[in-house]
């Protein structure tokens, strides 16, 4: 190997990553991580990122809807986020005549931008540490807190936020709300002042063949070749205040918008992400790690594997079934892959031992400080995890094996219940007709175009067989007794009985019921309805039994986290993600997932063409995109080697909720939009894996290329500040 090539490989994959894990609070950045970020390549001042008294990058990052992130990229309120974050809005505007999911959508002027009732975009105006205030209020109100739960109660904490600010202030400031959230299991509290805009309009979206290219097959995987982005605009009243939709509203003039870099990325370049990560479990104890691995993930993996194999077998037999069950199959594989990846990571780095080491470190410290309460808290957590294990296993088996695994387990019951009540009370004919109409509506909702009763029979039989083998008979739903008393423990015969006898077993059965003179008897004895009722009853019982552990568990975790903070100090730690604004940072880099396998940090359009499969909807390449590729018409967005960049990876620490997050270089310029993680990195929700954890990011140059060259929406490019 030539010396130069050896150096490239060494720099890419043997590079010692000094980027720290973490989803850091912006208001503590200077005290915690700013100096480390500077060493990696940050060129900004700390107040350029977060400035409570002036404009900063924080003001260009928004919460998109309730579970994604977006970024403002123009002085006219233009917002970028992921295609999958905007999917619901795109879908809501799609019709047979205008299928924006298949064809894409581009507003060529402001009048064509489409409103989206219910969609909001939220700015964070201020972040304030209110720990002292909240703890004083908790002490004040302790006589009303009989169960000792106020310290984690959203309604109580948000009431304190309104009390602190004053209801009159909130009334006078349209769209402004305040929220207090607990951190470190209730050891710290921050108040977030938010400004929420509700007139959000769809501006542009590529077709799903670009925005979802690779779909669920490529989900959690690298390399990726997905243009996962969509474009929206924030509208406000003439004074710039949040307002409900009105034709008279105008594009928002934001405080801040991101400049966009078209210079691209290189290995080891600094990168940072601002966003709203959803949930992490960094402070799991060793017992919780084992519980997650041995119960939650193992049940999910085993039961979904059975369901997916059964579905796939039927999908491969019949193209019509493949269409019907494509979404259900892919939806099942998403969390299935996540569970496998998490267990892989738990084993690879022995997360159980890592958490045990942290516990032992606290115990040694606490012993020296004469603080026995931390040992008591850990002992209690271990005891509670052990005591709830049987119930937790039963609950996971019921959810994965029956409620999620069997379609008829969640059959709609409104019409059935309405009719039973009506018939028992001797109601009038018109009330009976209403009940029958609702019953038929329920059936159409249940047996819709994406439902196949034969597939449900086959899958249900296999799921029931696995369930009754793995769960003790006395822990199964009561109605399951019939499997043993009438069908000699044969789940297939039991399922056949349900479909043969149930009103919802077939269209023929429904019609027969409509003409039956003994409707009440049929409804009460219906096996599908009784099955669903029994399963839901068991689910409620398990939830209630498990809930008895919640309060003592939470209180002991609060004490455990109190010890961690006392031992390490707050500067060394970051709180678990909870959909609040955070910053993570790292470098652009590939990774080596296993021996002799090396992944580069950059993917290109070459990979799109390599993956193209005209027989598979996940890998169809639009004709216009192929034309641009073949002619190398990449404009100013291509690489110097003549290729077109699509996506890249960085060592930044992300999770769900970071979808749509802006990825910025050391100057704070937008270089990409975060949209996924690699499979090997999903365990990072428990423990960061520097050698494996990678954020998957659509290159901003590909975004601009699609908007400009593919869609011809050059007016949007002209609206942005490109560097």
Instruction: Delineate the domains of the chain, giving CATH numbers in brackets.
Output: 17-120+198-281+574-719 (2.40.10.120), 122-197 (no CATH), 286-413+452-504+525-547 (no CATH)
Q: Across the strands, what pairs with 582?
A: 25, 275
Query: What whole-number distance in Å separates Cα of residue 2 and Cα of residue 445?
Result: 64
Which pLDDT value is given to residue 17?
37
Q: Is the peptide bond between 456 and the residue preceding it cis, with omega within 30 degrees of 0?
A: no
Residue 197 pLDDT greater than 50, yes or no: yes
Query: What whole-number distance in Å separates Cα of residue 638 and Cα of residue 632?
Result: 9
Q: What is the pLDDT of residues 340-381, one digit of tens each?
A: 999 999 999 999 999 999 999 999 999 999 999 999 999 999
Which pLDDT value is given to residue 327?
77
DSSP 707: I
Mean pLDDT calculated for residue range 9-20: 43
Which pLDDT value is given to residue 517?
85
Residue 586 pLDDT greater than 50, yes or no: yes
Residue 226 pLDDT greater than 90, yes or no: yes
Residue 161 pLDDT grade (very low, low, confident, very high; cuts 50, 70, 90) = very high
Task: Say if residues 328 and 335 touch (Cβ distance below 8 Å).
Answer: no
Query: What whole-number distance in Å separates Cα of residue 107 and Cα of residue 716?
Result: 9
Mean pLDDT calculated for residue range 299-319: 95
Backbone phi, then psi, for 631, in 5-degree steps? -90, -5
Which pLDDT value is given to residue 446?
95
Residue 8 pLDDT greater than 90, yes or no: no
Query: What whole-number distance in Å separates Cα of residue 645 and Cα of residue 642?
Result: 10
Which pLDDT value is given to residue 326?
79
Which pLDDT value is given to residue 3?
42
Six-digit token string for 127: 């972040």
Share of the chain above pLDDT 90, in %: 89
The helix/strand count (H/E) of the chain reads as 28, 21
Which pLDDT value is given to residue 331?
80
Write out the catalytic residue numbers: 84, 228, 659
Residue 4 pLDDT greater than 70, yes or no: no
Of 284-298, 569-583, 657-671, give the lowest mean pLDDT range. Answer: 569-583
Residue 324 pLDDT grade (very low, low, confident, very high; cuts 50, 70, 90) = confident
Which pLDDT value is given to residue 617?
85
User: What mean pLDDT, rounded, does the chain reach?
Assistant: 94
Six-digit token string for 44: 């900004």
Which pLDDT value is given to residue 570?
79
Which pLDDT value is given to residue 544?
98
Residue 18 pLDDT greater than 50, yes or no: no
Query: What whole-number distance in Å separates Cα of residue 721 and Cα of residue 700?
Result: 13
Unique residue bearing structure tokens 């928004």: 62
Of 15-24, 162-171, 487-496, give the lowest mean pLDDT range. Answer: 15-24
**What are the DSSP calls for 412-438, one per residue?**
--HHHHHHHHHHHTT--HHHHHHHHHH
Q: What angle, 0 to 180 degrees and rounded to 10, lies between the N-to-C axes of helices 550-568 and 373-397?
A: 130
Query: What whole-number distance in Å separates Cα of residue 162 and Cα of residue 188?
Result: 18
At a CB cut-off of 8 Å and minimum separation 6, what does 696 contact? 222, 224, 647, 649, 674, 675, 676, 677, 678
Which pLDDT value is given to residue 6?
40
**What are the DSSP calls for 284-341, one per residue?**
--HHHHHHIIIIIIHHHHHHHHHHHHHHHHHHHH-HHHHHHHHHHHHHHHHHHHHHHH
Please state, in angstroms and as integers, the Cα–Cα distance from residue 318 to each residue in 311, 323, 408, 462, 630, following that order: 11, 9, 21, 19, 35
More confident residue, 232 or 327: 232
Query: What whole-number distance in Å separates Cα of residue 105 and Cα of residue 116?
Result: 14
Query: What whole-number distance in Å separates Cα of residue 590 and Cα of residue 698?
Result: 15
Q: What is the pLDDT of residues 397-456, one digit of tens each?
A: 999 999 999 999 999 999 999 999 989 887 678 888 999 999 999 999 999 989 999 999
Most confident listed range (321-325, 567-571, 628-632)? 628-632
At a CB cut-off of 8 Å and minimum separation 6, what does 661 contact? 61, 69, 71, 273, 274, 275, 276, 654, 673, 674
Residue 605 pLDDT greater than 80, yes or no: yes
Query: What whole-number distance in Å separates Cα of residue 656 and Cα of residue 67?
Result: 8
Residue 329 pLDDT grade (very low, low, confident, very high; cuts 50, 70, 90) = confident
């Amino acid at each position: 190997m030539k010396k130069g090539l050896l150096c490239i490989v060494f720099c890419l994959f043997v590079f010692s990553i000094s980027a720290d894990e973490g989803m850091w609070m912006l208001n503590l950045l200077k005290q915690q991580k700013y100096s480390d970020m500077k060493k990696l390549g940050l060129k900004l001042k700390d107040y350029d990122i977060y400035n409570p008294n002036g404009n900063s990058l924080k003001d260009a990052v928004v919460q998109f809807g309730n579970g994604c992130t977006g970024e403002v990229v123009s002085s006219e309120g233009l917002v970028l986020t992921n295609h999958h974050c905007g999917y619901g809005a795109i879908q809501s505007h799609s019709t047979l005549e205008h299928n924006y999911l298949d064809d894409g959508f581009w507003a060529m002027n402001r009048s064509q931008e489409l409103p989206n009732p219910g969609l909001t975009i939220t700015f964070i105006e201020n972040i304030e540490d209110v720990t002292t205030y909240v703890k004083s209020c908790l002490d004040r109100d302790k006589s009303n807190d009989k169960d000792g739960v106020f310290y984690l109660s959203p309604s109580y904490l948000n009431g304190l936020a309104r009390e602190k600010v004053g209801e009159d202030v909130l009334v006078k400031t349209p769209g402004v709300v305040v929220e207090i959230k607990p951190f470190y299991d209730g050891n710290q509290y921050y108040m977030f002042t938010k400004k929420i805009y509700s007139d959000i309009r769809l501006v542009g979206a590529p077709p799903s063949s670009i925005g979802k290219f690779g779909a669920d097959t490529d989900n959690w995987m690298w390399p990726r070749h997905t243009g996962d982005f969509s474009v929206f605009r924030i509208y406000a009243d003439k004074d710039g205040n949040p307002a409900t939709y009105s034709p008279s509203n105008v594009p928002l003039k934001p405080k801040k918008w991101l400049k966009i870099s078209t210079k691209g990325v290189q290995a080891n370049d600094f990168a940072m992400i601002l966003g709203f990560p959803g949930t992490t479990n960094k402070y799991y104890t060793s017992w919780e790690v084992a519980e997650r691995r041995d119960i939650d993930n193992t049940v999910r993996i085993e039961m979904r594997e059975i369901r997916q194999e059964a579905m796939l077998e039927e999908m491969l037999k019949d193209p019509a079934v493949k269409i019907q069950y494509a979404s259900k199959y892919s939806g099942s594989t998403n969390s299935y892959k996540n569970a496998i990846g998490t267990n892989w990571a738990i084993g690879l780095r022995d997360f159980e031992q890592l958490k045990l080491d942290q516990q032992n470190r606290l115990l040694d410290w606490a012993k020296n400080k004469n603080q026995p309460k931390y040992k008591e808290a850990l002992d209690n957590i271990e005891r509670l995890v052990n005591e709830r294990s049987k119930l937790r296993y039963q609950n996971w088996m019921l959810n994965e094996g029956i409620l999620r695994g069997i379609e008829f387990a969640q059959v709609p019951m409104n019409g059935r219940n309405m009719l039973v009540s009506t018939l028992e009370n001797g109601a009038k004919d018109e009330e009976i007709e209403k009940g029958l109409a609702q019953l038929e509506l329920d059936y159409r909702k249940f047996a819709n175009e994406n439902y196949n009763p034969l597939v449900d029979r086959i899958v249900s039989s296999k799921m029931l067989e696995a369930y009754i083998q793995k769960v003790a008979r006395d822990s199964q739903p009561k109605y399951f007794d019939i499997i043993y008393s009438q069908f000699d423990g044969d789940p297939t015969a039991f399922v056949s009985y349900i479909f043969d006898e149930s009103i919802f077993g077939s269209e023929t059965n429904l019609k027969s019921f409509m003409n039956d003179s003994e409707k009440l008897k049929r409804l009460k004895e219906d096996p599908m309805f009784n099955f669903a009722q029994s399963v839901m009853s068991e689910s409620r019982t398990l939830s209630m039994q498990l809930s008895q552990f919640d309060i003592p568990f939470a209180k002991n975790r609060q004490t455990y986290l109190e010890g961690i903070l006392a031992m390490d100090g707050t500067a060394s730690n970051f709180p678990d993600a909870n959909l609040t604004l955070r910053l993570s940072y790292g470098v652009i880099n590939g990774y080596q997932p296993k021996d002799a396998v090396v992944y580069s940090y950059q993917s290109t359009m070459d990979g799109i063409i390599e993956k193209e499969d005209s027989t598979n909807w996940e890998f169809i390449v639009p004709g216009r995109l192929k034309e641009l590729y073949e002619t190398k018409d990449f404009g100013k967005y291509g690489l110097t080697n003549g290729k077109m960049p699509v996506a890249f990876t960085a060592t930044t620490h992300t999770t769900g909720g970071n979808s749509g997050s802006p990825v910025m270089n050391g100057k704070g310029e937008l270089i990409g939009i975060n949209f996924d993680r690699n499979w090997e990195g999903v365990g990072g929700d428990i423990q960061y894996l520097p050698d494996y954890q990678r954020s998957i990011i659509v290159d901003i140059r590909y975004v601009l290329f699609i908007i400009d060259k593919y869609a011809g929406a050059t007016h949007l490019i002209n609206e942005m500040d490109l560097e």
